[in-house]
Chains A and B, each alone.
Chain A
Amino acid sequence: MSELKLMKGNEALAEATIRAGADAYFGYPITPQSEVIEYLMSERPEKRTGMVVLQAESELAAINMVYGAASTGKKVMTSSSSPGISLKLEGISYLAGAELPAVIVNVVRGGPGLGTIQPSQADYFQSVKGGGHGDYHLYVLAPSSVQEMADFVEDAFDIAFKYRTPVLILSDGLIGQMMEKVVLKDQQERLTDEEVIKRYDTWATTGKTNRERNIITSLDLVPEKMEARVHKLMAKYKKMAEEDLRYEKIECDDAEYLFVAYGSSARIAQKAVELGRAKGIKVGLLRPITLFPYPKQQLFELADQVKGILSVELSAGQMVEDVKLAVEHKVPVEHFGRTGGIIHTPEEVLEALEQKIIKNGSIRHHKTRESSIL
């Protein structure tokens, strides 16, 4: 039976982690996501399900504990906020290289450096363009409500095990700290080693019995073998794009202008859509739910319908690059976003659309483009 509660995004995520049958959580507190570990500790999950919750001595320790637990086929999570995720990136690259399933949560705050504890979306590049070293990607889910903070935990574990890949839940201080109604799912049983093998095959180091030994490593010094490993990763990412791309279209059917926004900015942009439509501006919103894979084709197609696109993000302009790549110069694309922990208001977002796209007419840009082709 499902259960209705009023919870903070961070708390909903933590509760959903216990209910998803996770085996372990390793973390280190940092604002604005400390409620995750705080909630997990207070719930005594070791008594509820046998789940291990441990405050590590550092972010580095936490991510390597994740590596160890994931190697044995366990459902394991860590969470942090921006500076802490930077510390974890070495381990995240190793997880991707060793093809280990794990869920990493980033409740983003403003940067660079220690920055601010207020909400931000300036970790987009870090999240979708690698972040750590080497040819890898994370499957990136961007929740935009407290309900999605809860729902995406199970989805993230499913993807992590389907592809044997680390999955990132990219939230931010706004979604983490706000409270909304949330419907929680039933408790799932934690899997035994036998069930893990049955469900996900025998790659994990569950104790060798009658099989070849399994080796979990990201190291391969034979160039051809290492290249094959990279190609295998790339094949996974291609499959993700084909099978597990997620996005939401809001008021797009008759849209003449388009916002593209994820997470907290998607909520704000949705209000800007309401305000715009009340003024007679036919504007819609494309909300990427997965940031990798990215809804490139959907944007490419929408670009045939709309006159201009505004990418809205709490950053100085990161996702706008992917929007531009997807749109291939068919229509003008601009960025709008506040930084430093300031949250843009729906009014500011709508005004940016009017100033940067509608009034300024990117028709001008378009012509420049055409003339440069000529």
Chain B
Amino acid sequence: MTEEIIIAGFGGQGVLSMGKILAYSGIMNNQEVSWMPSYGPEMRGGTANVTVILSDERISSPYLKVFDTAIILNQQSMDKFEESVKPGGILLYEPQGIYQHPTRTDINIYQIEANKLATEMGNKKIFNMVVLGAYLKIKPIVELENVLDGLKKSLPERYHNLIPLNEKAIHVGMDNLKTKIFQEKTVTI
């Protein structure tokens, strides 16, 4: 099994750390992993993206053109990566700030209103964990247990008190996943 994922959004949304937690979860699951970020000036306020690969075999290229799954968190990333999903693949996106919704019909499209859900939970920073939860609901490629172990590994110890909150956010994401219906053309932001 090999899962090739692109996670793309704004710098500050937790794109890179979400990828890192996923990669750690893969390690906990005894898989090969790679985490390849976009780096440099484009991170500061601009777009940030990371390619994460989890595989049972040795991973060849960490840099890819097409993906099994694209997790898209802003419009620029939608413009760039909607076309990069393999036919039959998955596109998961956060609708806030998206004014051109995905139109492809040969892929499986899902929505997660992670901004709203995280705000309702009282902590916007767990936005990315809500998204991660939604993704794991679609593709349970790693056990929740492995994700929590991954969180422990990737978070400094002084933040370990936040793990229960992160776990809750993952569950909220799992419970609120929506399949996209292609009706709305524009959304005012």
Which residues on A are within 8 Å of B, measured CB to CB?
A: 4, 6, 31-32, 117-118, 173-174, 177-181, 264, 267-268, 270-274, 343, 345-348
A345 — which chain B residues lie within 8 A by C-beta? 63-65
A31 — which chain B residues lie within 8 A by C-beta? 40
Docked complex Cα distance between A345 and B62 (Å)? 10
**Assuming A270-B61, A346-B64, is B33 touching A177 (CB within 8 A)?**
no
A271 — which chain B residues lie within 8 A by C-beta? 60-61, 64
For the A-B complex, the count of residue pairs with Cβ-Cβ distances under 8 Å equals 71
Which residues in chain B, 133-172, are within 8 Å of chain A measured between CB atoms? 153-154
Interface residue SS majority, chain B: mixed
- Does A346 lie within 8 Å of B61, measured CB to CB? yes
* Most central of A177, A181, A268 by chain B CB within 10 Å: A181
B65 — which chain A residues lie within 8 A by C-beta? 345-348
- Does A181 lie within 8 Å of B33, measured CB to CB? yes
B101 — which chain A residues lie within 8 A by C-beta? none
Which residues on B are within 8 Å of A, measured CB to CB?
A: 20, 23-24, 27, 32-37, 39-41, 59-66, 153-154
Taking A6-B23, A270-B60 as known contacts, 5 extra A-B pairs with beta carbons closer than 8 A to each other, sorted by chain A number, are: A6-B35, A174-B62, A178-B37, A268-B63, A271-B64
A sample of 17 cross-chain residue pairs with beta-carbon separation below 8 angstroms, ordered by A number, consists of A6-B23, A117-B40, A174-B36, A179-B20, A179-B34, A181-B33, A264-B62, A267-B60, A267-B61, A267-B62, A268-B61, A270-B60, A271-B61, A272-B61, A345-B65, A346-B61, A346-B65
Docked complex Cα distance between A5 and B66 (Å)? 27
- Does A177 lie within 8 Å of B39, measured CB to CB? yes
- Does A6 lie within 8 Å of B60, measured CB to CB? no
Least distance between A149 CB and chain B CB atoms (Å): 13
**Assuming A267-B60, A270-B60, A346-B64, is B33 touching A180 (CB within 8 A)?**
yes
- Does B39 lie within 8 Å of A32, measured CB to CB? yes
- Does B40 lie within 8 Å of A178, measured CB to CB? no
B63 — which chain A residues lie within 8 A by C-beta? 174, 264, 267-268, 343, 345
B32 — which chain A residues lie within 8 A by C-beta? 180-181
- Does B61 lie within 8 Å of A178, measured CB to CB? no
B24 — which chain A residues lie within 8 A by C-beta? 6
A346 — which chain B residues lie within 8 A by C-beta? 60-61, 64-65
